Structure 1
Amino acid sequence: MFSGYSDGEKVYKTTDAGATWVNVSNGLPNIPMNTVVYRKNSLYDEVYIGADLGVYAIDNNVSSAVPFLTDLPKCAVQDLEIFYPTESTGIIRAATYGRGSWQANLSTGPLVTLGTDEVAGLSSQAPVLYPNPVSNGVLNVKLVNTDSNYVYYLYNLLGEQVLKGTLDVSNSVISLKDKAAGTYILRMISQDKMYTQKVLVK
């Protein structure tokens, strides 16, 4: 892990006790990375990275790192630790610079689905997607009770990022005209919230 501003050179992993290293920085922003923790007993080899703008996560189900903001702030994270109430569950705790300590329950599924986000995505504050299923290649997004801009990421069910863009009150349409029919995962992130919802393209 590197705590600097070398773009694309943030986190490396090894599977042979350090003999060789593989760059796994895809999806990480060009900001300092401060700490990294591996989730033991994980089915997906999850790794969580504390950065100057919150926590990011990588597992072997996604092709790039994704922001992990469930119950965690988007600020400088100096230290991470995972506690294990049971063998299959985990609680991640983050020590921040200036905003205290936080914790969040970890999902038992792959990162792209993040079960806790699915519930949050159905709350009254979540953006409303329509029509869903999408039949004409255009997905409208109604932003609810917010002046914040959102960055969105669209993933296929292999965990591959297939689209990225921004949403605000003046631009709330996502074009899916070139996307194959199937199920996708749409993740929308604002300054302090993150929602994940399924999108069906016909």
Structure 2
Amino acid sequence: MTSEIFPHDVQQVLDLVGIFVFALSGGLMAVRKNMDIFGICVLAEATALGGGVLRDLVIGALPVAAFTNSGYFPTPLVAGVVVFFLHPQVERINRAVMVLDAAGLGLFAVTGTIKAHDYGLGAVASVSCGMLTAAGGGVVRDVLAMEPPSLLRWDREIYAVPALVGAAITAILIGIGQLTPVNAALAAIAAFTMRMLALRYGWRAPRAWHRNGSRAGEE
């Protein structure tokens, strides 16, 4: 059983790039919270690997991939050290980091969905695991940093929704027997494109019906 959609070496490189970029965002959050080197590395690890760890625990893929793949655990530590020494420079290229983060979101939404399906989950559960893989690490990061999870905040551009779209497309492709590396890549690109458009145009999920008419003190 495998969640790889590309040749192994290509998949490994893509995974490590995605992990590294996710870890950068976790490390930057730690810097903003004035954490020490240990806190920076913890948030880098949690952001990069948290979603995959939660997915593997849910589907029973033990031991989890974060600890069985020799490249997964050290990569966030490298990112944490980079942020520790070079956080002003990393902040300056934050736009590029966000682009790569969106690409990682799409990739992990697809691979997470495929892995959940490979372990016997149905379509809905597989889509949920795909979204969890892509966005779960950010939730763990925010909780550890004592922040409201950003994907639950109405004033942030949609993040989980693009992951959900990529995961749903993947599940549909699996269901109709049309999952190929090309189609899987297109599903990841769809999630990536939606996330980038959300950043470009400020797309946000709607709040409760008539919520905008609530009293000002409750806004």
Fold agreement, TM-score > 0.5 = no
Please report the TM-score for the alignment, with normalisation by the length of structure 2. 0.25
Which structure shows the bigger proportion of residues in strand conformation? Answer: 1
Q: Which has the higher contact order (CA 8 A, sep 6+)?
A: 2
Please report the TM-score for the alignment, with normalisation by the length of structure 1. 0.26
